Amino acid sequence: MFHLQCIKCNATYPPEERIYTCPRCGGLLEVVLELDKIHVTKEEMDPRWMGVWKYREFMPVSEKARIITLTEGGTPLHRVDNLREEFGVKELYVKNEGANPSGSFKDRGMTVGVTKALELGARAVACASTGNTSASLASFAAVARLSCIVLLPTGKTAMGKLAQAILHGARVIAIEGNFDEALELVRRVCDEMNIYLLNSINPWRLEGQKSLGFEIVDQLEWEVPDRIIVPVGNCGNSSAIWKGLKEFYEYGFIDRLPRITGIQAEGAAPVVHAYREGLDEVVPVENPETVATAIRIGAPVSAPKTLRAVRESGGLMEAVSDEEILHAQKMLARREGIGVEPASASTIAGLKKLLESGEIDSDERIVCVATGHALKDPEIIIKSSEAPITCPADMERLKKVVAQVL
Ligand code: AN7
């Protein structure tokens, strides 16, 4: 019903093989579903609970698999009319992935990835992470009763994410280096010490994340938006969304496809550079730096998949500054009541920039994916905002202060 295939040399492998890249050429692997063996209708899916497993037929796990779930997915698709008016665009939505159990879209991938880890008989799982992957993996590993090791770049992981990884019982190893170095190390340690790797290089994890694309069109009553805007770090999510939508298109659930538009932070934008120069692979950025620590990534492993998704879909790639990101974070919070972390706000910043430059048409119907919750990184909010006003516990003084701020 499904198998693994190399996106570079097309070699195929059975699903039981515990591999993350092509043993023949080192290329990235992708799960290939046999869509003609799937039989389900929209009407059959309709009464099911929203979430990743609503689309169970499209999830490559065996019928007998013990599914590890925290009821992930089923997140709100907000129609954001205040922002729409301000930006002067036809129709605008924000998909709020911060509403997932661990507060980010990673949970969609981990429900499938950790289910697969158990199927393959793993006893320990690991990942390197800028934060959210570790928070998510730690919580799913906890329910599955698997040992969990996470490698985080020292001093560059937002506090909420670090706290979650610790809370859920992961063994946290702070690597004195950046995310790219941590990922390189964890890949090797997993190979040499028989630990199951759950970074997004793992093709099974991306199968869960493709439900983000499924859900967007489902929530729009099967009307396909013109464009989906996604923050890009390691290139897992943008490529997973595209894969899912292509499956729905080939299966016949939708009759067209959206443009995938990826946004990076200026200080960590290797995919934007590759896109502009027409390359299929990225030239790594040596010392990536951005306030959006989630996407502080210089050597994204799945870049060829995202470049393919953006080009095939007729989308775009754009980079935004830290200042634009923090401004967009406040716009979304203060006009729409939606609190997101900086990486997620990059999509709003990118949309604003691309509308202003005329690269995105104001006549479009657009969905921005807000990937993680504001509380993941409370420190950056405090640091980039006005300090609270102090006031003695005295009614007269308080009235003066209130009169001033009204
Ligand atoms: C909020 O947690 O890479 O392009 O290790 O946390 O699929 O990597 C996080 C990535 C966007 C980028 N938004 O997605 C990690 C990690 C948020 C994120 C991304 C991440 P990918």
pLDDT digits (tens, 9 = 90+) for 337-372: 999 999 999 999 999 999 999 999 999 999 999 999
- For residues 66-77, average pLDDT: 98
Task: Check pocket membership of 100 for ligand 1, CB cut-off 6 A.
Answer: no
Mean residue pLDDT of the chain comes to 97
Which residue's CA is minimally distant from atom 18 of ligand 1? 294
Minimum-distance ligand 1 atom for the alpha carbon of 179: 5
Residue 114 near residue 67, CB atoms below 8 Å: no
- For residues 149-167, average pLDDT: 97
Task: Check pocket membership of 195 for ligand 1, CB cut-off 6 A.
Answer: no
- Of 107, 132, 369, the one to substitute when testing ligand 1's pocket (max ligand atoms within 8 A of C-beta) is 132
H or E stretch at 325 = helix 322-336
Query: How much distance in Å is there from the Cα of 403 to the middle of ligand 1?
Result: 43
pLDDT band at 36 (very low <50, low <70, confident <90, very high): very high
What number of CA atoms fall less than 13 Å from residue 90's CA on the CB side? 10
Task: Check pocket membership of 347 for ligand 1, CB cut-off 6 A.
Answer: no
Query: How much distance in Å is there from the Cα of 295 to the middle of ligand 1?
Result: 6
Which residue's CA is minimally distant from atom 9 of ligand 1? 294
pLDDT for 22 equals 98
pLDDT band at 316 (very low <50, low <70, confident <90, very high): very high
Over the stretch 269-290, which tens digit does the pLDDT of each residue have? 999 999 999 999 999 999 999 9
Task: Check pocket membership of 98 for ligand 1, CB cut-off 6 A.
Answer: no
pLDDT for 327 equals 98
From CA 252, how far away is CA 247, in angstroms rounded?
A: 8
Task: Check pocket membership of 302 for ligand 1, CB cut-off 6 A.
Answer: no
Over the stretch 204-256, which tens digit does the pLDDT of each residue have? 999 999 999 999 999 999 999 999 999 999 999 999 999 999 999 999 999 99
H or E stretch at 152 = strand 147-153
Task: Kindly report the CATH class assigned to 77-103+212-383.
Answer: alpha beta
- For residues 193-201, average pLDDT: 97
- For residues 168-180, average pLDDT: 97
- Name residue 381's amino acid: I
Name the pairing type of β-strands 12-13 and 227-231.
unpaired
Q: Which of 325, 144, 305, 281 is nearest to 209 (CA)?
A: 305
Task: Check pocket membership of 264 for ligand 1, CB cut-off 6 A.
Answer: no
From CA 84, how far away is CA 65, in angstroms rounded?
A: 43
pLDDT for 146 equals 98
Name the pairing type of β-strands 259-265 and 227-231.
parallel
Residue 128 near residue 188, CB atoms below 8 Å: no
From CA 170, how far away is CA 163, in angstroms rounded?
A: 10
Q: Which of 193, 250, 208, 258 is nearest to 230 (CA)?
A: 258
- For residues 193-210, average pLDDT: 97
pLDDT band at 38 (very low <50, low <70, confident <90, very high): very high
Query: How much distance in Å is there from the Cα of 233 to the middle of ligand 1?
Result: 5
Task: Check pocket membership of 232 for ligand 1, CB cut-off 6 A.
Answer: yes
Query: How much distance in Å is there from the Cα of 180 to the middle of ligand 1?
Result: 13
Phi/psi region, residue 339 (left: phi>0; alpha: psi -120 to 50; beta: rest), is beta
